[in-house]
A and B are shown apart, each in its own frame.
Chain A
Amino acid sequence: ILNVEQSPQSLHVQEGDSTNFTCSFPSSNFYALHWYRWETAKSPEALFVMTLNGDEKKKGRISATLNTKEGYSYLYIKGSQPEDSATYLCAPPNSGYALNFGKGTSLLVTP
């Protein structure tokens, strides 16, 4: 089981603010890094699957970077909107498939 740390644990920003979170994971035996967005009572929604060191992916206002050598990934949200409020989870898979989730960063965006 991999030790995955996410910070901050929670975040409260105003609409329009840009924000970012960190996911730290062991850099040895790296397979991939998954980011999910999860609203309570709904399905966790896949945002990105990142595999290569230096990878940078973007989906709308959300983007992510990956550093496999030092074992971290950043998730950025540009111009946060209230609908971005959710818990953002990162998960490096163990042996390529079983996801090891961090505790997540809970984001609240207020108008």
Chain B
Amino acid sequence: GAVVSQHPSRVICKSGTSVKIECRSLDFQATTMFWYRQFPKQSLMLMATSNEGSKATYEQGVEKDKFLINHASLTLSTLTVTSAHPEDSSFYICSARDSATVHGYGYTFGSGTRLTVV
């Protein structure tokens, strides 16, 4: 089945630094990927839709200059948290849609990245 790999699984960074998270579709091409954030005991919140070769579409309230998304190939999207602060500490999850599947097929999620900003 379709597999989405996220790296790193855990990262600790100092306040003010930037962190890059990678999301790869391992055995399929994904023209569209999605980035979510999840705080403890809460549901997943969609941050942005990442489109290959074009600018990402951000959800309302998500700062595009803080959360930089690049989707330069059909198998890789990256999320960079710039000038991270402790309140950015969260669980970040990506998902991808197999471009070759028919309408209605489900999306595949990565295993998530736990970001801790100290």
User: Is chain B a partner of chain A in the same complex?
Assistant: no
